Amino acid sequence: MIQLQSIDKTYTSKKTTFHALNNINLSIHDGEILGIVGYSGAGKSTLLRIINGLILPEHGQVIVDSVDTNQLSLGDMRRMRQSMGMIFQHFNLIFSMTVKSNIMLALSIANYPKDLREKSIFELLDLVGLTGKENRYPVELSGGERQRLGIARALSNHPKYLLCDEATSALDQKTAQDIIKLLKQIQEKTKITIIFISHQIEIVKDLCTRVVVMDQGCIIEDQSVKALFTHPISSITKSLIRSLVYEPKDISKEIYELIYDHKNSDSMTLSDMIKIYQVDVNIMFAKTLELKDEVIGYLYLQIEGANKEQALAFLRDAHVEVNRYV
């Protein structure tokens, strides 16, 4: 378990002070897949580096498995990092080393038993789907393969935590999905705790169980992935979801957003509403989103009629989330 307690981090240059992180409190439980989303400059990457001590906070404690990392010596800090894998947006591989040597380096840094290294490398390559490419150099690999190597390297010492810094942002959509699939598989197999930073909410929704939204160095929302998509609270979250689902072109119209989940998607609620309350309905847009374990439906409507308010109340009684969209 990782606990962050009242973490502050500011960057000062000669003229300006930039508050990268403001009083961050966060607990990350074992086996969780936590997504941290937000626009660039929200403090996500800084937060991730605070966890493994690549960046030190000004105030506050980072407690990893009941050990306050502020108290660690440099040597102990390095040993702690060996129990945390990290993967990067630009993969950060060693270009002068082959696939095999890249993993070997990580194993030797972690003092992995010498006689098991060779075997471990081939198991890791098999796990990430790079079997047969052990003698290639990183430059000879595709983007997706490079990130697979990054993952193999990060997992080499059987870490308890995997930190992912925009791990799919430099990849095309299909490749990004493949990497997410791989991470899911690994998580199911090993129960590793994943902390996944991304500005792409569509990636986070496929992978994560819990999502934290950050803005200007603060955590503004912390919910399960389903709650985030059905009951978004902050305007940032709403705008992130909007960019993924539906952005209305004509904002002069009154549009309502209806969000369905598995509990109410089978019933005839909308049709009942129209019949009972005699309202006119125009469907502007509809879309379903697949979350990690669930499908959510979004429906955008114009509703006209004398009984509009009662009609909306009827929907809410049927546990459909109704929001005034525009």
Partner 1 sequence: MFDERNLQLFIRALEETLFLVFGTGLFVLFIGLAIGFLLFASEPGSLFKDRLWVKVFHRILASINDIARSIPFIILLILLIPFTRAIVGTMLGAKAALPALIISASPFFARVVHMALRDVSKDTIEALESMGASFLTTVKVIFKEALSTLVSGLTLTLVTLVGFMSAAAVIGAGGLAYLAYEYGKFGNNYPLMYVSIFTILFIVFIIQITGDFIARKLDHRSKSKGA
Least distance in angstroms from the C-beta of 34 to partner 1: 18
Candidates 1, 26, 63, 97: give the one binding partner 1 (CB under 8 A): 97
**The two three-digit tokens of residue 249, written as one number:** 């072109």
The C-alpha atoms of residue 125 and residue 127 are separated, in whole angstroms, by 5
Q: What is the 3-state secondary structure (H, E, C) of 107-147?
A: HHHCCCCHHHHHHHHHHHHHHHCCCCCCCCCHHHCCHHHHH
The C-alpha atoms of residue 108 and residue 121 are separated, in whole angstroms, by 12
Of 286-315, which residues contact partner 1 (CB under 8 A)? none
Candidates 95, 114, 252, 266: give the one binding partner 1 (CB under 8 A): 95
Q: Stretches 59-67, 138-146, 270-278, 286-294: which one binds partner 1 (CB under 8 A)?
A: 138-146
The C-alpha atoms of residue 112 and residue 116 are separated, in whole angstroms, by 8
Q: In terms of Cα–Cα distance, which of 220, 203, 222 is closest to 212?
A: 222
Q: Is 81 in the site for partner 1 (CB under 8 A)?
A: yes
Residues facing 11 on adjacent strands: 18
Judge contact between 302 and 253, C-beta under 8 A. Answer: yes
Candidates 82, 169, 200, 216: give the one binding partner 1 (CB under 8 A): 82
Candidates 59, 79, 263, 316: give the one binding partner 1 (CB under 8 A): 79
Nearer residue to partner 1 within complex by CB, 81 or 210? 81
Q: Is 233 in the site for partner 1 (CB under 8 A)?
A: no
Nearer residue to partner 1 within complex by CB, 48 or 201? 48
Q: Say whether 176 sits in a helix, a strand or coil.
A: helix
Residues facing 280 on adjacent strands: 304
Q: Is 210 in the site for partner 1 (CB under 8 A)?
A: no
Residues that bind partner 1 (CB under 8 A): 52, 54, 77-82, 84, 86, 88, 90, 92-97, 105-106, 108-110, 137-140, 153, 163
